[in-house]
Structure 1
């Protein structure tokens, strides 16, 4: 019989959908957790009393370009992945998709190998790979290097279909201008999470791509055709297609809170909006600048930009994004927490374990401090 190992009281407990008040989190000897009433704590079980806050599973971030002072593009190796994952774990994120921004075929191959090796070695926090490019639209390249953007060839498709055999959670951001619906369908059928982004396509083209198997829009509103009265664009299609989820950078810089509210109201579901940080090398570090494809990215006042002011990723953590959603967007706290945990986890073919003791953390009342429960 599995024995109770410890219990935590005094904090609200989030089970992935609901916040429980006046309950206890029981940690069992096999590492599983259970939410119980305080009166049900075994008499011989050590009890830890917390001063408010929330107990919940670690965050799941499907778009992480770097952290700990380094970009994945700089050195796509297992060592880099371990550094980036550790930096994000220090910010409360238990599972990430390291993201390679548009780069050369050799760097893409190196990224696939690095993630494959990291998964084989069980590097904590690495659950797959996100390839953001190179099959995008130059017209909506954002901070991507336009000289490296290109259409998907048959050889590229074969490479992705081979990669997903080794990387079950493989996400690809593509633009319909650079891939065909047949290619999207082939990737989706193989289990690749196809996301539309960095695209200037029109509404009908985007809807056809979603019908072909694309399941997501990358950083909604940013680097894509906008919703207008007679031209809904990719934004409109992502919100109108019930099978399309949308990643969102909720830093109040990339998207105004009023537009986030409008998007949440317009989204048709059942697929939902989830949070991403789009984090760069700055995450979990004090660096004030870094380089991407030879161009300097500057960090200032919560923004990351190229010299010309173009946004280049985000200087954002998940707790900060949740605060923006709750305080400025007025999203219910339970929903905002789900957008950083269970909703992105549900996008994955092989989601990470949740509600296990080693992946549970405590967030302070104002979400300004966090600790893994093993550290409490």
Structure 2
């Protein structure tokens, strides 16, 4: 029987705090614990990452695509594998593939793919995010209005399935009732409000009914106004609501991100990418519901200038938060690891504490990735 594997770096961030003068001990794909540098277990295989930091793998609950694959266009286990592979080299070791508003057949195929992937333990796939079709036409963003519609009984059944892993459902009060939200929350579905023109009081009612998150805060919702705080105000004042933030400088101005990060608390702010198929792919154009999306200067837009998701990967979101928004490195890492894992209820992911899956990202002080390991094994 082989011995444990020991990972070494100058600092180890376990998802909560930083440890120095320690080494990370991994056995059978799980974190066994931390040990002093002078107390290496017998028969250990030592991995000197030559990096300054070890972090848990990143967790992203909004990924539309990657590696040239858009989930809506390829709702299959093979498509999911390509998306997960594309994001893993950027440090993301757990993600929710996100199917946006589309015809019902696409949504059902996406659910079937997620069910197969999660049941087979496909690397990196931990569930599914349904972003629409039960959103607001007024705040549709790039979503195709042809497919936006109210939630019905069959939709509730799909969103309450128990074989899809972790489920996030982005809905708007315009097309999902308070009772819908309560039923989903009772079934364990994580309801996120987004793509909505809802007001402050309505948002608070939906949070009371069980909604627990907000999808890409500031984007596709009414702007924050000092007399009409809307969904943004309702979310930021509520300590129990998780907020996804796209930190690329295009979706939210760096000064606004800085204000939100400073106000915190970091225990409910999560970095998300909203990544499209362009991440990990050289193409400068792709098709979305029959429309051409152009990539230029880090922005993805359709012909009328509407943002169409992002060209963002998670390590770039962390870098932007640190370099452009003044966020401490540890806080940025926390918003990409333990906080989204907590939101999703993933007890063994997003940390490097004993019993956790040994999904590890080795980082330089420059926030360049040195190595990625899944369950203690190097990513090819």
C-alpha contact (below 8 Å) 2:170/2:191 kept by paired residues? yes
User: How far apart, CA to CA, are the structure 2 residues paired with 1:22 and 1:330?
Assistant: 27
- Does 1:297 pair with 2:300? no
Aligned to 2:370: 370
Tell me if the contact between 2:24 and 2:31 (Cα under 8 Å) persists in the aligned partners. Answer: no
Judged with a 3 Å threshold, the aligned counterparts in structure 2 of structure 1 residues 336 and 145 are, in CA distance, closer, same or farther, namely same
Partner of 1:245: 242
Q: Cα deviations across residues 230-256 of structure 1 (Å, max 9, x unaligned)? A: 100111111012221100101111111
Residues 68-88 of structure 1, C-alpha deviation per residue, up to 9 Å, x if partnerless? Answer: 101000021111111111111
Between 109-118 and 6-15, the greater mean CA deviation after superposition: 6-15
Alignment partner of 1:235 out of 227, 232, 235: 232
**1:338 alignment counterpart:** 334
2:97 is paired with a residue whose SS is strand
CA distance in 1, matches of 2:199, 2:28: 54
Aligned equivalents of 1:166 and 1:257: distance in 2? 39
Q: Deviations over 1:330-359 (max 9, x none)?
A: 112111101001100011134553435751
Counterparts of 2:42 and 2:347 in 1: how far apart (Å)?
Answer: 35
Deviation at 1:43, TM superposition (A): 6.3
Query: Which residue number in structure 2 is paired with residue 329 of structure 1?
Result: 325
Find the aligned partners of 1:137 and 1:202 in 2 and give their Cα distance.
Answer: 13
Residue 204 of structure 2: which of 207, 232, 239 is its match? 207
Cα deviation for residue 3 of structure 1 reads 7.4
On the 8 A contact 2:266/2:331 being kept in 1, the answer is no
Q: How many residues align?
A: 372
Tell me the CA shift for residue 4 of structure 1.
4.7
Tell me which residue corresponds to 2:64: 65
Contact 1:133 1:172 in 2 (8 A): yes
Q: Counterpart in 2 of 1:255? A: 252
Q: What pairs up with 1:346-357 in 2 under 5 angstroms? A: 346-353=342-349, 354-355=351-352
> C-alpha displacement at 1:33, in angstroms?
3.9
Q: Give unpaired runs (5+ residues) of structure 1.
A: none
Instruction: Give per-residue Cα distances to partners, 1:184-231, cap 9 Å, x unaligned.
Output: 011001000000000011111111111110000000111111110110
Alignment of 1:118-197 (within 5 A): 118-161=117-160, 163=161, 165-197=162-194
TM-score, normalised on structure 2? Answer: 0.92
Q: Output one character per residue of 1:41-82: Cα deviation in whole Å (capped at 9) or x when no partner.
A: 246534343434211221110000001101000021111111
Paired position in structure 2 for 1:45: 44
Contact 2:222-2:231 at 8 Å conserved across structures: yes
Aligned residues of 2:223 and 2:232 also touching (Cα < 8 A): yes
Pairwise CA distance, 1:5: 2.5
Question: For 2:365 and 2:259, how far apart are their aligned partners in 1?
Answer: 28
Residue equivalent to 2:359 = 359
| Farther off after superposition, 333-342 or 356-365 | 356-365
Structure 2 residue aligned with 1:223: 220
1:64–1:352 Cα change, 3 Å: farther
Instruction: Give the secondary structure class of the aligned counterpart of 2:106.
Output: helix
What is the alpha-carbon distance in structure 1 between the residues aligned to residue 40 and residue 346 of structure 2? 33
Alpha-carbon contact 2:115-2:165 (below 8 Å) kept = no
Q: Which residue of 2 aligns with 1:313?
A: 309
Paired with 2:266 and 2:252, the residues of 1 have a C-alpha distance of 22
Question: What CA distance in whole angstroms lies between the structure 1 residues aligned with 2:259 and 2:317?
Answer: 17
Q: Is the 8 A contact 2:149 2:175 kept in 1?
A: yes
Give the Cα–Cα distance (whole angstroms) in 2 for the partners of residues 36 and 81 of structure 1. Answer: 37
Preserved CA contact (<8 Å) 1:91 1:370 = no
CA distance in 2, matches of 1:96, 1:245: 16
Note the residue ranges of structure 2 that are not aligned, 5 or more in a row: none
SS in 2 for 1:39: coil
**1:56 paired residue number:** 55
Of the structure 1 ranges 43-52 and 180-189, higher mean CA displacement relative to structure 2 is found in 43-52
Alpha carbons of 1:357 and 1:264: their partners in 2 closer, same or farther (altered >3 Å)?
closer
Q: Normalised by the size of structure 1, how large is the TM-score? A: 0.93
Q: Which structure exhibits the higher relative contact order, with contacts defined as CA atoms closer than 8 Å and separated by 6 or more residues? A: 2
